[in-house]
Amino acid sequence: MGLRAWAAGRVNLIGDHTDYMGGLVLPMAIGLGTEITGDHGGNWVMLGSDRFDGVAEIPLAGVDDPAAVEPPWARYVAAVVGEIAPDDGLVGMVHSTLPAGSGLASSAALQVAVATALGADLGDPLAVAQACQRAEQRATGVPVGIMDQLVSLAAVEGSVLRIDCDALTIDHVPFPEDAEIVVIHSGEHRELTGSAYAMRRAECEAAEAVVGRLRDADPVDVEAIEDPVLRRRARHVTTENRRVDALASALAKDQLAYAGELLVASHASLRDDFQVSTPMLDQIVGTVRGVPGVYGARVTGAGFGGCVVVLCKPKTRIGGPVVWRGRPAPGAALQATDQSQG
Query: CA-CA distance, 309 to 195, in Å (whole number)?
Result: 21
Considering only 147, 179, 214, 237, the residue that binds ligand GLA (CB under 6 A) is 147
Catalytic, 148? Answer: yes
Tell me the per-residue interface mask from 20 to 49 with ligand GLA, x by CB under 6 A, - otherwise.
x-----------------------------
Contacts (CB under 6 A) with ligand GLA, residues 294-333: 301-302
Residue 297 dihedral angles phi and psi, to the nearest 5°: -155, 155
Stretch that binds ligand GLA, among 140-148, 166-174, 204-212, 279-287 (CB under 6 A): 140-148
Return the closest-CA partner of residue 187 out of 106, 281, 263, 96. 281
- My answer on whether omega of the bond before 328 falls inside 30° of 0, hence cis, is no
Catalytic residue among 148, 216, 218, 254: 148
Told to check if 203 binds ligand GLA by CB under 6 A, we report no
* Closest separation in Å from C-beta 105 to ligand GLA: 6
Told to check if 273 binds ligand GLA by CB under 6 A, we report no
Considering only 6, 9, 17, 66, the residue that binds ligand GLA (CB under 6 A) is 17
Q: Of 37 and 111, which has the nearer Cβ to ligand GLA?
A: 111
Query: CA-CA distance, 36 to 34, in Å (whole number)?
Result: 7
CA dihedral in degrees (228, 231, 237, 240; nearest 10)? -80
Told to check if 132 binds ligand GLA by CB under 6 A, we report no
Q: What contacts 253, CB < 8 A, 6 or more positions away?
A: none
Query: CA-CA distance, 157 to 208, in Å (whole number)?
Result: 36
Stretch that binds ligand GLA, among 44-52, 118-126, 143-151, 288-296 (CB under 6 A): 143-151
Residue 183 dihedral angles phi and psi, to the nearest 5°: -115, 125
Q: Of 105 and 183, which has the nearer Cβ to ligand GLA?
A: 105
Query: CA-CA distance, 239 to 278, in Å (whole number)?
Result: 21
Query: CA-CA distance, 258 to 78, in Å (whole number)?
Result: 44
Contacts (CB under 6 A) with ligand GLA, residues 65-124: 105
Which residues make up the interface to ligand GLA (CB under 6 A)? 16-17, 19-20, 105, 144-145, 147-148, 301-302
- Active site residue ranges: 148
